[in-house]
Amino acid sequence: MTMYNSIKEEAYHCNMELPKLGLVLFTFGNVSVADRSKQVFAIKPSGVPYEKLSPEQMVVVDFDGNVIEGDLRPSSDTKTHAVLYKHWEEIGGITHTHSTYATAWAQSQRDIPIFGTTHADHLTVDIPCAAPMSDDMIAGNYEYETGFQIINHFAEQQLDYREVEMILVGNHAPFAWGKDGMKSVYNSAVLEQVAKMALLTEQINPSAPRLKPALVKKHYERKHGKNAYYGQ
Amino acid sequence: MTMYNSIKEEAYHCNMELPKLGLVLFTFGNVSVADRSKQVFAIKPSGVPYEKLSPEQMVVVDFDGNVIEGDLRPSSDTKTHAVLYKHWEEIGGITHTHSTYATAWAQSQRDIPIFGTTHADHLTVDIPCAAPMSDDMIAGNYEYETGFQIINHFAEQQLDYREVEMILVGNHAPFAWGKDGMKSVYNSAVLEQVAKMALLTEQINPSAPRLKPALVKKHYERKHGKNAYYGQ
Amino acid sequence: MTMYNSIKEEAYHCNMELPKLGLVLFTFGNVSVADRSKQVFAIKPSGVPYEKLSPEQMVVVDFDGNVIEGDLRPSSDTKTHAVLYKHWEEIGGITHTHSTYATAWAQSQRDIPIFGTTHADHLTVDIPCAAPMSDDMIAGNYEYETGFQIINHFAEQQLDYREVEMILVGNHAPFAWGKDGMKSVYNSAVLEQVAKMALLTEQINPSAPRLKPALVKKHYERKHGKNAYYGQ
Amino acid sequence: MTMYNSIKEEAYHCNMELPKLGLVLFTFGNVSVADRSKQVFAIKPSGVPYEKLSPEQMVVVDFDGNVIEGDLRPSSDTKTHAVLYKHWEEIGGITHTHSTYATAWAQSQRDIPIFGTTHADHLTVDIPCAAPMSDDMIAGNYEYETGFQIINHFAEQQLDYREVEMILVGNHAPFAWGKDGMKSVYNSAVLEQVAKMALLTEQINPSAPRLKPALVKKHYERKHGKNAYYGQ
C-alpha cells in the first residue's frame, strides 16, 4: 500500500477500458490519472499487454516526467502526458490510443469537420489536427516535444483545452483528456465514433455542410455550462 | 409497485436492446413505451449508463412532456417523444439513437434511396431525411420543435407514419417508432442496416438504380396488409 | 420422432450458424436441407427469431413446395428452394441471407469480379448477379419464379451449379447451395467475405485487374477435382 | 510425447490466436513454428477447423517440405513456409492469413504506403507487395515457388527480412514472420490494422503524404535496435 494507490487503481481501471471499447490493438494505447495535490500521475507501464496488467504495475511519475514509484518502465509516451499535466492545470486524466478512424484522420492531416450533433454534444469546433512535428523537435526530446506540439497548436488556434478535450497529432494518432481518467477514456471513444461518422458522411455526400451555428450552440449547451440539462 | 410498472418494465427491456444491437455508444440513445389508456409513456432517464439501468429508474411522462412519476430526470429528448405520441395516435413505442450509418446519412442530409428488397420489406419509399431545423425552432423549445420538424416533414412529403416508421433528422440522427417499444427498436436496427447497405451500394455502383415499383410493392406486401404471408 | 428428424436436426443446426457467422439481422435468412431419397427438404419456419428456434419447428416440404410436416408456416422463400432442389439434382442444402456486402453487390446489380485466390479457391468465374426479375414474374408466383430466375441465369451464362455454388439476385440478395446444408452455409460466408474484399480492392485500386487464368486454375484445382490436395 | 512436443504446442497456441484476432474465416490461415536445432517446423494440418484443432494434430516438417511426424496432411502452404525457413535463417515462426484488408491490398497489387507512426513502429518502408507469379511458377511447384517469389522480391527491393517482417503476395494474401510464432502472429495483426488505416487514410485525403523520414526513423528506433526504449 502506498500513498498513490488511489490513482494507480483508477489508472488501471481506465486502461482496462481501452480494449473493451475497441480502441486498442495489443498495447497501442495508454491512460494516465493525475493526483494534483501530489503533482504526480499514474500511467500504464510500457509494452505490458492489457490481459497481464495489474494496478500494482502502474508507474507513478511527476509532472517533469521523473519516475516516483514503480518497478516497471512507464509508457514511452509518458513525457507527453507530463507536459500536458504541467501546463494545463485543470486536467486529471489523459488517454492516448491509435484507434482506427481517429488515427486515419491524423494520418490524413485533416481536422475532423463538425458534421452533426453527436460532435456538437462534445465540442463546438472541428476536432483539431496538429501538423507533424519539425525534424528538430523529433530528433530532440520527442515525446516531451509532442506535448508542446499539442499545447502550441491550441495556442495558435486559440482553443481552450477545457472546451476542446481532444486532438489529433498529424501522422501520428489521437490524444484526449478530461477532468479525470474516465472522462479522457470517454473522450477517446467519442472521438473515434465521430471520426468514423465524419468519414462516412463525406462518402455519402462529398459536399456535406458543417453543422450550423445555432445547432452547434444548442447541443453543446445541453451538456455544458450553467444551463446544461443533460444527465442527472 | 405502481400502475405504470408494465410500461416501465417494457421500456427497460427495450432500452437494454440498444447496446446488444450495437446501436449506441455510451448513453447516445433512448427508447420510450406508451400506455395509450393512461396517456403516458415510460422513458430512459437522462445520461444513465445502460449497465446501471434498472426498470425502477424509468421515468413516466405525459403526452405534454410533464413528469408523472420518477426520481430521475427523463431523457433530454423526452419532449420529442411526447409530441410524436400526442399527434400520432397509433404508435406505442419510439426509439432514438445515434447509430453510425443512419447518423452519417442524417449528417449528409440525404434521403436513403430504396435500393433493394431489404428496404422494401419495411417501407416503400426512400427513408426520409428532414431538413435541419430553423434557427428560431432551435433557440426556442428545441426538443419539442424536433417533434414538429418530424411531423411537418411527413405532412409535406405526404407520408403516413403508419407505413413509414422511421426518419432522419438532418445533421442530427434517426428516430424510429412502431406499434410498441420492441417494434421501434427493431425499426432502428433495420434502418441502421439499410443505411449501411445503401452506402456500400453507391460505392460499388455510383449509378445504381432504385428498386423498381413491382419489386417494392411485392416485398412490402409480403410483410404488410391483408395479404401478407411472412411470419406466423 | 418422425422419419424426417435427421434433416430437421441438420436444418436447425445450419440455421443457427447464420447469426454466429454474422450473416443475418433478426430473421433475414434461412437454410434448408434436403433428403433426396424422400424428395423433401426441411426449412426454417417463417419469421421465427433464431434465439427461439428448435429442431421440431423445422418445416418439411416437398420439391413442389407442398408442406409435408410441420405446424408452422415455412420460410416465405420456400418455393425458391423447392425449384432449385427440383432442377438441380446434386444439391443437398440451400442458404439464403441478406448479408451486408453480398446484398450491396446485389443491389448494385454487378457481378463480383474475381480479384484473388480467396475467390478462386471456391469458383473460377465472377460471382454472377442475375438481373432483377420481370414485372410479370414478380406479380405472379414470385418466390417460385425467383428459382427460375436463378436457373435461367445459369443456363444463359453457361454456368454449372456444381461448380458455381452461389448467386446474387439483382436488387435482392444472395443464395448459395452445396452438397449439404453446412456446405451451403459455408458458401454463404465465403461469398460475404469475397464480396467485402472485392469492394475494398476496387477502393484501393479502381483499375485492379482480375486474377489471371493460371492462378484461377491453380487455386481452384487445389481444392476441387481429382488432383485436389487441400484438406484431409 | 515426442521430441517435437514443444513446437507442436507452440504452433497450436499460435494458430488458435488467429480466430481470436479476427484474422481468419474458417480455415483460411496457418501458423508454423520452427525448431532451428532440429531443422524442422510444426504447422497446422490442412483444412482442419480451428475449433477442432489440438496440439497433437500439428504436423512436423523439415525445411525441404518432407513430413517428419504427424498423421494428418500439413497445410497446403507448407512448402512456402519451408522455403522461407531454409533461406532466412533467423526466423522462427511464419503466419499466413487471408485477413480482409491486407488481402484487399494484395488483390490491388499495391504496396501499402507508410502513412503514420503505427506503421513506422514496425517497419520503415512501405509494406511490399510482390507481383503475381509467372505462369511457369504457378504451373510448377506452386507453393514452393511462392516462397521464392517472396525471397526474390526482397532481394530485388533490397529489403532485409529481419527488418521487414511481412509481405503481400500479389492477387493472393499476406505472409508475416518473426523470431518466433507469436511474433509472426503479432505481425499479421499489425499488418491487417495498418492495411485498414491506410485505406481509410486515402479515403479521407487522396493526396495524403507519406510519413517524413525523421518520424519514420524516430518511431522505428523507439522499438528496435540498441537504443530502443519501448517495453520492459
Digit-coded pLDDT (tens) for C60-92: 999 999 999 999 999 999 999 999 999 999 999
Q: What is the pLDDT at residue D1? A: 61
For residue A109, give the chain D residue with the closest CA.
D208
DSSP letter assigned to residue A212: P
Range C136-151 average pLDDT: 95
Q: What is the pLDDT at residue B2? A: 82
For residue A22, give the chain B residue with the closest CA.
B25
User: How far off is chain C from D127, nearest CA to CA, in Å?
Assistant: 14
Q: Looking at the predicted complex, does its ipTM rise above 0.90?
A: yes
Instruction: Tell me which chain B residues have a C-beta less than 8 angstroms from the C-beta of A186.
Output: 26
How large is the angle between the packed helices C5-20 and C181-204, nearest 10 degrees? 20
**Residue contacts between A and B (CB atoms, under 8 Å):** 85
Cβ <8 Å between C116 and D139: no
In the predicted model, is pLDDT for residue C38 greater than 90?
yes
User: pLDDT tens digit string along B107-139?
Assistant: 999 999 999 999 999 999 999 999 999 999 999
Range D91-111 average pLDDT: 98
Q: What is the pLDDT at residue A2? A: 83
The phi and psi torsions of D109 (rounded to 5 degrees) equal 55, 45
User: How far off is chain A from D204, nearest CA to CA, in Å?
Assistant: 6
Long-range Cβ pairs for the range C62-69 (8 Å, 24+): C63/C39, C65/C144, C68/C4, C68/C40, C69/C2, C69/C4
Cβ <8 Å between C229 and D105: no
User: How far off is chain D from C17, nearest CA to CA, in Å?
Assistant: 12
User: pLDDT tens digit string along C164-215?
Assistant: 999 999 999 999 999 999 999 999 999 999 999 999 999 999 999 999 999 9
Three cell numbers written together for C97: 441471407
Instruction: Tell me which chain B residues have a C-beta less than 8 angstroms from the C-beta of C106.
Output: 116
Instruction: Tell me which chain A residues have a C-beta less than 8 angstroms from the C-beta of D218.
Output: 138-139, 142
Q: Per the residue annotation, which of D111, D121, D126, D180 is the catalytic one?
A: D121
Specify whether the backbone of C210 is left (phi greater than 0), alpha (psi in -120 to 50) or beta.
beta
In the predicted model, is pLDDT for residue C1 greater than 70?
no
Cβ <8 Å between D208 and A25: no
DSSP letter assigned to residue A79: H
Q: What is the pLDDT at residue A1? A: 62
**Which pLDDT tens digits describe chain A residue by residue (232 residues)?**
689 999 999 999 999 999 999 999 999 999 999 999 999 999 999 999 999 999 999 999 999 999 999 999 999 999 999 999 999 999 999 999 999 999 999 999 999 999 999 999 999 999 999 999 999 999 999 999 999 999 999 999 999 999 999 999 999 999 999 999 999 999 999 999 999 999 999 999 999 999 999 999 999 999 999 989 989 9
User: pLDDT tens digit string along B54-92?
Assistant: 999 999 999 999 999 999 999 999 999 999 999 999 999
Q: What is the pLDDT at residue D2? A: 82
In the predicted model, is pLDDT for residue B1 greater than 80?
no
Residues ≥6 apart with Cβ < 8 Å to C132: B211, B212, B215, C109, C169, C170, C171, C172
User: How far off is chain C from B190, nearest CA to CA, in Å?
Assistant: 8
Assign C22 to helix, strand or coil.
coil
- The span from the CA of A32 to the CA of A94, in Å, is 5
Cβ <8 Å between D98 and C115: no
Instruction: Name the residues of C annotated as catalytic.
Output: 121, 230
| Total residue length of chain C | 232
Q: Which of A112, A121, A197 is the mutation pick for testing B, counting most B CBs within 10 A?
A: A197
- The span from the CA of B102 to the CA of D35, in Å, is 52
User: pLDDT tens digit string along B163-181?
Assistant: 999 999 999 999 999 999 9
For residue D44, give the chain C residue with the closest CA.
C231
For residue C229, give the chain D residue with the closest CA.
D76
